[in-house]
Amino acid sequence: MAVLPVLSFPDPRLRTVAKPVAQVNDAIRQLAADMFETMYAILGGVGLAATQVDRHVQLIVMDFSETRDQPMVFINPQVTPLTQDRQLQEEGCLSVPQIYDKVERSTRVKIEALNLAGEKIEIDADGFLAVCIQHELDHLKGKLFVDYLSPLKRQRAREKVEKVVRQREKEKVQR
């Protein structure tokens, strides 16, 4: 397994619309394993879309467990709201480091996808899981949570992320 570089906002590659996975094969399973390794390496990461690691296929990984032993994989996910109820929930993103803000999302959704065995799965989700599914699905559509914010908040987020990325690069050079 490998820790993959995570793209940071405003990298234009984050706007790429992911293509469906044609076949669940060893390459897709390896990508999922690498994505889990990447997500686990970043403190606070609970979900990651392939787009964020510059692989533009419809693949999402998640694990909300404290012990990091309950991985979920969604390939070619389709999400359907199960209610018209919506809620504001604070979100953050590995591609938008150190930025958190509230986004309105559906409170309950159904996700249909394939698992790593290529089998169809279906989950009714609510609460935090529903929010995360919608957040990660947005990545596959080339959308970020900051797109839901006002232009002023989005610009401030961009400037802060660019500063964080510059600082990280500076620290890498000093090592």
Structure tokens of 63?
């694990």
Q: What is the pLDDT of residues 118-140, one digit of tens each?
A: 999 999 999 999 999 999 999 99
Biggest alpha carbon–alpha carbon distance for the chain: 51
> Is 103 contained in some domain?
yes
> Is 43 contained in some domain?
yes
Residue 128, domain extent: 12-166
If we measure between CA atoms, which residue out of 138, 175, 145 comes closest to residue 161?
145
Q: What is the pLDDT of residues 140-161, one digit of tens each?
A: 999 999 999 999 999 999 999 9
> Is 144 contained in some domain?
yes
> Is 22 contained in some domain?
yes
Average pLDDT for residues 168-173, to the nearest whole number?
Answer: 81
* pLDDT-derived band at 57, boundaries 50, 70, 90: very high
> Is 175 contained in some domain?
no
Catalytic residue, from 136, 162, 169, 171: name it: 136
136 in catalytic set? yes
Half-sphere exposure of 94 toward its Cβ, with a 13 Å CA cutoff? 27
Give the CATH number of the domain where residue 161 resides.
3.90.45.10
> Is 5 contained in some domain?
no
Mean per-residue pLDDT of the chain: 95
- How many domains would you assign to the chain? 1
Using CA atoms, how far apart are residues 82 and 161, in angstroms rounded to an integer? 34
Binding site feature residues for Fe cation:
93, 135, 139
* pLDDT-derived band at 165, boundaries 50, 70, 90: confident
If we measure between CA atoms, which residue out of 152, 120, 139 comes closest to residue 51?
139
